[in-house]
Amino acid sequence: MESILDRFLRYISYDTASNPESHSQPSTNKQFVLLELLKEELLAMGLEDASLDKNGYVMATLPSNLEDGKKVPTIGFIAHVDTAPDMSGANIKPQLVHNYDGSDIVLNQEKGIVLRTQEYPELLAYKGQTIITTDGTTLLGADDKAGVAEIMNLVQTLVANPDIKHGDIKIGFTPDEEIGRGVDYFDVKKFGADFAYTLDGGAIGELEYENFNAAGATLTIHGCNIHPGFAKDKMLNSMLVAMELNALLPVEQRPEYTTHYEGFFHLIGFKGTVEESTIQYIIRDHDFDKFTAKKELLNDCVTFMNKKYGTGVVELDLKDQYYNMRKEVEPHIHIIHIAEQAMEMAGVRPKIQPIRGGTDGARLSFMGLPCPNLFAGGHNFHGKFEYVPVESMEKASEVALNIVKLFAASNL
């Protein structure tokens, strides 16, 4: 049996970054390389219906081995293969820190890049463990190839140990989660699970069934460019209008000043000339009423600016992206209780907390597949300081196995 460490290291060798500027499905063809590999590995393990469709979804079934035709809920496990486009995911050179001693970790001596415990004190919780880091020049890809490796390790364990009783188990791997398009074409009916879990969370013990309500906003500001020597009472600098509009939004509701259940306006893009500028925001809040109020505030800001500078100077394109899955998961709260019990069986203390982000599971929950999120073990996603303890990945896979056992023994 391949170790979860070796499996993870093999998967991160594939560059699978998604691309928000692409209109293809998936957004990058290179994701197909790993998806095809996963399909072939599932087939080799004996999951005869393993498939990869044109939209980049791998689906497979491990059939029930329960005796006497006992029926239990069909459970799915889902992870995404793409990595964030925020930083390069090509030519990843992972470093293994064995028996971590609690000191700072030098990622790149030449560039002076150091993972410091003063800045990342959670490192100290992993003394004595094996930590996988980057070399400081790329991200690591634990988001979410740790989840992929953990699910594949689960399948390998169940196939190799037929004495472990289980109902039908569904396996799913998706593309493009990092750019918010991970389940745009996911066929919930074809997948065939009653409930599912994404393994896409962070530190060991995380269990999440609340996430942000989310919207994206693009504002186009139309200016008027005149030679600066003759600009008096004629020029309208679109960049300055954009800056003025941004200043109308509450400073304390920026990501760097918020935590827990606090939402935010996050300026993620600014391109401009005197003649025309474009600014982009993401808007987030766990509370739907506060989420709605944030969108109304942005609309009010646009209305104000157009009254000041002229109708049509500022155009707003505002679209909802996903919603808080709590509404869809809470009626099936037993799937959370089972996950808690599964963690306790593995010696892991459950930490139920809201996701300050979103997962494929959030959207799947509104598509008829209640799908909370389990920890995958990684930290500092999307950048050069990303790392994952091997022991956390092993525990995540053990928790998934315990979930399978608990459902098999249930009378649901």
Give me the pLDDT at residue 410, please.
87
Question: Span 4-210+324-408: which CATH code?
Answer: 3.40.630.10
Choice among 15, 150, 176, 177 that is catalytic: 177
- In the three-class reduction of DSSP (H, G, I as helix; E, B as strand; rest coil), residue 185 is classed as coil
Give me the pLDDT at residue 268, please.
92
CA distance 131 to 335: 30
- In the three-class reduction of DSSP (H, G, I as helix; E, B as strand; rest coil), residue 43 is classed as helix
Q: Are 225 and 274 in contact (CB under 8 A)?
A: yes
Give me the pLDDT at residue 411, please.
78
Domain residue limits, the chain? 4-210+324-408, 213-322
**Is residue 168 annotated as part of the catalytic site, yes or no?**
no
Burial 263-300, CB ≥16 within 10 A → b, else e: bbbeeeeeebebbbbbbebbbbbbeeeebeebbebbee
Q: What mean pLDDT value characterizes the chain? A: 96
Q: What is the pLDDT of residues 185-226, one digit of tens each?
A: 999 999 999 999 999 999 999 999 999 999 999 999 999 999
In sequence order, what are the residues at sequence separation of 6 or more whose Cβ sits closer than 8 angstroms to the Cβ of residue 100? 123, 126, 127, 128, 129, 130, 131
Give me the pLDDT at residue 406, please.
97
Give me the pLDDT at residue 297, please.
98
CA 266, 377, 340 angle in degrees (round to 5)?
100
The model's pTM: 0.90
Q: What is the pLDDT of residues 72-130, one digit of tens each?
A: 999 999 999 999 999 999 999 999 999 999 999 999 999 999 999 999 999 999 999 99
- Beta-strand (E) ranges in 68-181? 75-80, 95-97, 105-108, 113-115, 131-133, 169-174
**Is residue 320 annotated as part of the catalytic site, yes or no?**
no
The angle, 0 to 180 degrees and rounded to 10, between the axes of the packed helices 142-160 and 390-408 is: 50
Q: Is 48 exposed, middle or buried (0-12, 13-18, 19+ CB in 10 A)?
A: exposed
- 213-322 fold: Alpha-Beta Plaits (3.30.70)
Q: Shortest CA distance to 202 belongs to which of 89, 138, 268, 122?
A: 122
In sequence order, what are the residues at sequence separation of 6 or more whose Cβ sits closer than 8 angstroms to the Cβ of residue 379? 120, 122, 142, 202, 203, 386, 387, 388
- In the three-class reduction of DSSP (H, G, I as helix; E, B as strand; rest coil), residue 36 is classed as helix
Tokens at 79, concatenated: 């992870």
Q: Where are the alpha helices (DSSP H) in 310-389?
A: 326-329, 334-345, 360-366
Q: Which residues of the chain have pLDDT under 50?
A: none
CA distance 322 to 314: 25
CA 260, 343, 151 angle in degrees (round to 5)?
95
Choice among 15, 41, 82, 200 that is catalytic: 82
In sequence order, what are the residues at sequence separation of 6 or more whose Cβ sits closer than 8 angstroms to the Cβ of residue 68? none
Tokens at 316, concatenated: 């707003």
